[in-house]
Amino acid sequence: MSQDATSLAAYIDHTLLAADASQVSIRQLCDEARTYGFKSVCVNSANVPLAVECLTGTSPLVCAVVGFPLGAGLSEAKAYEATLAIQAGAREIDMVLNIGWLKDGLLDLVRDDIAQVLKACGSVPLKVILETGLLNDEQKTQACVICRELNVAFVKTSTGFGHGGATLADVRLMREVVGPVIGVKASGGVRDVATALAMIEAGATRLGSSSGIAIVSGASAVAGAY
């Protein structure tokens, strides 16, 4: 694969989702996104207004997570969070589906959960986080089928919050199930250029990482990074 590291910036959602993220760190995240040309910054919804302020007039988008990181809130609350984040300037939404419902086989409830947020998003792209580290292949497939049928913008592997991150096998499976049009976002553990390129080769069209600078510069990521 001839793609060089710097061209990977357009794949990367530059991510800061820590509970203790300060305004200084959000501003730094946005400065880095401008400098390196990342696709977006991915932040918690309360940080959307500040990120929008920092990135107005520049190319990186502001992406907000909703129902994060557990996915176990009321569907109506997730939809309302998405609505408010979009009103604040978010241009992409990453939601966590209800993992417990999926594992229990309550697929109609899972579908409705995603559909409510999708409706709230309108024309704003929705990425659906599966939390693949908690699922078997059948459950991953079921979630991807629902997402394909609803025509969401992306399926996403993981929150990166302690249940395992993206794997090449999961990215391949998700790509196979959703087909060639819907995006696949690999997140959690994508910390260097070799991993990033391997995820893209496996079918990822977006990468979520707090190690974007390390990826595009070919450096080593900080231990424990998302």
Active site residues: 94, 156, 185
Neighbours of 219 (CB within 10 A): 13
Strands 61-66 and 206-209: unpaired
Supply φ then ψ for residue 135, to 5 degrees.
-120, 155
Counting other chains too, the contacts that 29-33 makes at CB distance below 8 Å and 24 or more residues apart are 30/54, 30/55, 30/60, 32/212, 32/213, 33/58, 33/60
For the record, the structure tokens of 64 come out as: 């907000």
Return the SS3 of 41.
Answer: strand
Q: Which residues contact 32 (CB under 8 A, 6 or more apart)?
A: 14, 38, 212, 213
Amino acid at 8: L
